[in-house]
Structure 1
Amino acid sequence: MIMKQTINDKTIKELEEIFLNLGFQKFRVKQVFRQIHVNKINDFSKMTDLSKDMREKLDQIFYFPKIKILKEFKSNLDKTKKYLFELDDKNIIEAVFMEYNNRNTICISSQVGCKMGCKFCASTKNGLERSLLASEIIEEIYLLERENSDINNIVVMGIGEPLDNFSNIEKFIKIITDDNGRNLSHRAITISTVGLVDKIYKLADLGYDINLAVSLHYAFDKKRMEYMPSAKKYKIKDIVKACDYYFEKTKRRISYEYVVIDGVNNLKEDIDKLEKLFKGKNIHINLIPLNPIEEFKYSKTKSNVMDQFQKKLSTRGLNATIRRSMGSDIDASCGQLRNNYAR
């Protein structure tokens, strides 16, 4: 019995080797690749430019991962949609589709759950179930496009730590940017990380000029370790050093994500330390109001607190802005929709 394998995570080179071994003509490789990654077809029977015999052979050897929409939440304020997706194994992930100024951005998950343990994040509540395969990440994107319209930007900032799933993230980037298929620009992709130092260096050395967003959230290691267990292994100075290397290799400005928790990480000492860390560097500090979850005692950060902190950072010569809130009427912390559904 032939063990079926996924097809939408095969590179042109991998597909060519398999097709030639099957006796298919070489030109069929790009033909099928385009059907999958340009037309976003995930059913061989719909590839009508192929012979029936070839479609049947492909169906015997390959399969497409199936992702089911469990729930869709539509904002009444803007064109944001949030989704709960069910995978083949019944695990659940989240994704978001955002339309702003005629540009479409999606926020996708890279894992089922997360093991990083950040106390203010709902995604990590039940730990890590498993990492998503490259085929699932790609299908997650194409499902969002089929349901909506083509996207301009991908942000890998949903459930999971992308750099903890490095091989599948690398594979998905290689395929989604292939000019024989979806041909998305590297610069249209943003990868988020809590700061896995070794993986930041590894990502830089791939030579992709993708955007990097680092979940910093605290200016001091002591505070960071209290709320982010990964900080026990990765010190801030080492993260910044790795990010400086990333900038040197890619020329892409680093974005440091900073969830503002009033009275915890927006004090004068925090401002002083952030100035010391970043003044003179080509970086951006993305300020995010805390979105409370049951397990974290702090309340949502008020807009005046956000404004004051942003102004204080700006007067120190730091490039800091407050993240625009999309779909705030259906807002939930990353992972909260999944957790609520699982109850």
Structure 2
Amino acid sequence: MEQIQKKDIRALSLPELREVFVQMGEKAFRANQVYEWLWQKAAYNFEEMSNLSKELREKLNLNFSINAAKINSSQFSADRTIKNTFKLHDTHLIEGVLIPTSERMTACVSSQVGCSLTCKFCATGYMDRKRNLNADEIFDQVVLINKQALENYNIPLSNIVYMGMGEPLLNYSNVLKSIDRITAEDGLNMSYKRITVSTAGIAKMIKKLGDDGVKFNLALSLHAANDDKRNEIMPINEQNTLSALAEALKYYFAKTKNPVTYEYIIFKDFNDGIEDAMDLAKFCKHVPCKVNIIEYNPISFADFVNADEDKTEIFANYLKKQGINTNIRRSRGKDIDAACGQLAVKETQ
């Protein structure tokens, strides 16, 4: 007997699901019930769908799959950060992090298996990009990390950052679809304002965000406001120069009126001087913005060192004197390689 190829049910929109149900001889409203189980209740198997008949659940099980991501392992940091390795339906592994602080409970999620951008300071950049994540695989990370936050700290997620493995804007449609499911009333119903998508800087896709009128927050991993320095650590800058990014950000801001966050990892004797701060202050004039200065988290592949604390303070104070909203972000989860730039799957299964 020929094996039926099961279809990923979460790849279907609600209208598509209704159509499928009618073709199966079922009432269209049953599709609404299933959709609610999938996206509001995050059901991972058809047996959980208790308001459906046993016959319909069996029919769904025969024709469809729910390609759920699962937590493969978790590591707990001394500062309460939890790093997870998720196993996907095709056995690929990705990482995601729960970052608890006194003000918020943040999920840092991945958008790709590996990354193609080869940023010199980032562990993920030394991995090959295997594939993009589907929207439901990104959604699953949020659901599982939220469950973890409740189980461990009795506090639900307050924020989501797309700052894990991969470049979100190179997986544009799945990232936007995942955000739709996370924010929709018939999904997780989280606020757009609690979601930040971080990009290494792909000018044409930043413009597309503007055209699509997105409501979530945009962060640009800048790390140098000088083309020569940025080329050295981020090869993507060669095709997406600072002037191209400035033009794209102006376009994005004109369309969305959303201010931008610049992330700036500060490296000792590379981008921590007063001239670097002046370059950054100049770049900040393009659109309303704030700057997060981030401690560098060493990785075995690279020789960079975090800037001295006094130089970091001088750098931040210069920006503040220019009227730029500036924060120094301390790393979380460093002891378990869960901090910014450290995500790289070491497990093999």
1:48 maps to which residue?
50
- State whether residues 107 and 161 of structure 2, in contact with CA within 8 Å, keep that contact through their aligned partners in structure 1: yes
Q: Partner letter of residue 228 of structure 1? A: M
User: What TM-score, normalized to structure 1?
Assistant: 0.93
2: distance between equivalents of 1:339 and 1:105? 20
1:31 is aligned, of 16, 30, 33, to 33
2:295 pairs with one of 289, 294, 304: 289
Which letter maps to 2:234? M
1:157-168 counterparts in 2 under 5 A?
A: 157-168=163-174
- State the SS of the aligned residue for 1:128: coil
Distance 1:204 1:14 in 2: 28
Contact 1:275 1:316 in 2 (8 A): yes
Matched, 1:118 2:119: yes
- What amino acid sits opposite 1:251 in the alignment? K
Amino acid at match of 2:83: K
Q: Is 1:231 the counterpart of 2:233 in the alignment?
A: no
1:265 aligned residue (271, 277, 293): 271
**For residues 88 and 286 of structure 1, do their structure 2 counterparts lie closer, same or farther at Cα, with a shift above 3 Å needed?**
same
Farther-moved stretch of structure 1 (240-249 vs 286-295): 240-249
Residue 12 of structure 1 aligns with an amino acid whose one-letter code is: L
User: Following TM superposition, by how much is the alpha carbon of 1:46 offset from its aligned partner in structure 2, in angstroms?
Assistant: 1.1
Would the aligned equivalents of 2:116 and 2:125 in 1 still touch at CA under 8 Å?
yes
SS for the counterpart of 1:159 is: coil
Unaligned runs of 5+ in 1: none
How far the C-alpha of 1:128 sits from its partner, in A, is: 1.0
CA contact (8 A) 2:124 2:166 kept: yes
CA contact (8 A) 2:266 2:306 kept: no
Amino acid at match of 1:245: Y
Equivalent position of 2:261 in the other structure = 255
| Deviation for aligned residue 1:317 | 2.1
CA distance 1:239–1:63, change in 2 (3 Å): same
The match for 1:172 is 178
Give the Cα–Cα distance (whole angstroms) in 1 for the partners of residues 12 and 102 of structure 2.
34
Is 1:154 the counterpart of 2:156? The answer is no
For residue 333 of structure 1, report the CA deviation from its aligned partner.
Answer: 4.8
- What is aligned with 1:17? 19
Deviations 1:208-253 (A, max 9, x none): 2111011111111111111111011001111122112222222221
* Runs of 4+ off more than 6 Å: none
Letter in 1 for 2:62: Q
- TM-score between both structures, scaled by the size of structure 2: 0.91
AA of the residue aligned to 1:60: L
Match of 1:90 in 2: 91
Say if 1:289 and 1:302, in contact at 8 Å, map to a contact too.
Answer: no
Residue 134 of structure 2 aligns with which residue? Answer: 133
Task: Provide the C-alpha distance between the structure 2 equivalents of 1:24 and 1:176, rounded to a whole number of angstroms.
Answer: 28
Q: How many equivalent residue pairs?
A: 342
Q: Partners of 1:178 and 1:22 in 2: how far apart?
A: 27
2:291 and 2:325 in contact (8 A); partners too: yes
Check whether the contact 2:331–2:339 (CA below 8 A) recurs between aligned residues.
Answer: no
- Equivalent of 1:308, from 292, 305, 314? 314
SS at match of 2:344: helix
Q: 1:106 to 1:116 in 2, by over 3 A?
A: same
What's the secondary structure of 1:169's corresponding residue?
Answer: helix
Cα distance in 2 for partners of 1:29, 1:37 equals 12
| Counterpart residue number, 2:344 | 338
RMSD: 2.1
**Greater shift after overlay, 193-202 or 164-173?**
164-173
The alpha carbon displacement at 1:339 in A equals 4.2
**What amino acid does structure 1 have at the position aligned with 2:115?**
C
